[in-house]
Amino acid sequence: MSVINYVIDGGFFDSVNGDRKYSAEEMNRPYKRVITEGIFATPQGTPSTDFQVISANDGMKITIRKGEGLIGGKWASSENDITVTVPANGGTTTRYDSIFLRSDNMLSVREISIQYRTGSEDVPPKEENLKVKEYRIANIRVSPTTSHISQSSIIDLRGSAECPWITSLINQVDTSTLFVQYQTTYREFFDTAKSEFRKWAESVANELNPYIMFADFTSNFRTVNPETTTIPINIPSYNRSKDILNVFVNGSRLAVNADYIVSDDGTNIILTNPLYAGNRVDFQVLQSTAVINPEDTVERLRNLDSKISPLLYDSGWIDLTLESGASPFNSVTIPAVRRYGNNVYVRGAVEVLNIAPATICTLPADMRPLMEHRYVTSVVADNSLVNCIIEIKTTGQIVLTAKSGAIPSGAKLSLSTNFILG
């Protein structure tokens, strides 16, 4: 019998007389295929506060909460909150700063750190190379007149492509703190903009003996390709020097200059951070025009309110009723669904008692996709992983199907997904 042996990298083995020594890079290698890098997402039922940046409600001070993560093949852990005083803006335009989680593997450094980096009208760039890895945790909006950093001035980037989550098979991300961020920012903008708009409309109406109407035009675009940054506005009458443009991604309003800029010809926006396929972008353009009947102005304002109000809808988390073939994995992973604007989020973990395919539960009527939503995941069964397919049908049924082979009874499954209505 002929045997040919080809040695490949592997480990770890006991060292005999120093013949098996391993570097830090080799010690970290097994984790690269087991778990992705990013910030650890806390278990469902616990707020996702790892490295969250919040207002300290003390002038220009902010707090970077403690947390853990994996970055650049290294583990990162901050056991205490960090308080940062944001530098005042002495300029004449709004400045955008960033907070980074950073791994520097240069021989002269070899450390994990959190960096606060000031920018300009644009956010500061990442500093990455073969030895340095960075995740942008948050952006801070600092206007020239700012003397207090509020929560709406902090743009949380955890969970985005800039700073991804790390999740296990059973634990899911609790995005409640992100919902607070998005909702607070949007409500502050909407309340302020509506009040200022109506005051201005009243003053103009009084001066011009009410012959002004404000028309709003809308369009939407759904991304098809990954890493999309250029989005067409598709409103031919839009004039960037005269009109008001509002941009929403999946129901959340974007901030001009921080999240996007408008092209010189006014036909597209260019995003700071790319979008993946399947995201919905909504545009709203407000224009003034002459009218004969001033009552049209009031009607237009009512129409504007009726269109924006649904974007603020939040159902809160609603527990789902499981079918007889499934049961909750434990008391803190009970499956639940939440609708926020046009977005639907599903979370939870279950134990499948019957062999798949099986219906796990059914979504409420106002939270069902118009097209079937499907994704591939894994279940834990007999101390091994089994690939399966989760289908959310237009009837609201969440169905588990084996991708190949069969799923044993008692398999444990994580439900963690979201989709867009419309």
Q: Is the pTM of this model over 0.75?
A: no
- Mean pLDDT is highest, among 58-67, 105-114, 378-387, for 58-67
Backbone angles phi, psi at 166, to 5 degrees: -110, 125
Distance separating alpha carbons of residues 231 and 381, to the nearest angstrom: 43
Closest CA to 256 of 121, 97, 136, 145: 121
User: How does pLDDT run across 93-105, given as a tens digit for each residue?
Assistant: 899 999 999 999 8
Chain centroid to CA 343: 12
Closest CA to 364 of 390, 337, 331, 386: 337
Strands (E), 17-122: 38-40, 53-58, 61-64, 67-71, 74-78, 82-85, 95-104, 111-117
How many CA atoms does the CB half-sphere of 92 hold within 13 Å?
A: 0
Q: Which domains does the chain have, with CATH numbers?
A: 34-167 (2.80.20), 180-311 (no CATH), 318-420 (2.60.40.2460)
Q: What is the pLDDT of residue 308?
A: 67
Q: Helix (H, G, I), strand (E, B), or coil: what is residue 300?
A: helix
User: How does pLDDT run across 396-416, given as a tens digit for each residue?
Assistant: 999 988 877 677 778 888 888
- With b for 16 or more beta-carbon neighbours within 10 A and e for fewer, the 351-369 pattern comes to bbeeebebbbbbbeeebbb
Kindly report which listed range (158-162, 251-255, 309-313) carries the lowest average pLDDT score. Answer: 309-313
Kindly report which listed range (22-36, 73-87, 143-157, 317-331) carries the lowest average pLDDT score. Answer: 22-36
Contact 56, 83 (CB under 8 A): yes
Kindly report which listed range (59-73, 79-93, 354-368) carries the lowest average pLDDT score. Answer: 354-368
pLDDT bracket for residue 14 (50, 70, 90) = confident
How many CA atoms does the CB half-sphere of 116 hold within 13 Å?
A: 14
Contact 155, 139 (CB under 8 A): yes
Q: What is the pLDDT of residue 290?
A: 59
User: How does pLDDT run across 44-67, given as a tens digit for each residue?
Assistant: 545 678 899 999 999 999 999 998
Mean pLDDT of 82-90: 93
Asked whether residue 4 carries a pLDDT value surpassing 80, the answer given is no
- With b for 16 or more beta-carbon neighbours within 10 A and e for fewer, the 11-41 pattern comes to eeeeeeeeeeeeeeeeeeeeeeeeeebbbbb
Mean pLDDT of 120-142: 90
The first and second tokens of residue 101, run together, are 């989680």
Instruction: Summarize the chain as % helix, strand, coil (round to 5).
Output: 15, 40, 45
Instruction: Give me the percent of the chain exceeding a pLDDT of 90.
Output: 20
Closest CA to 254 of 272, 278, 279, 227: 272
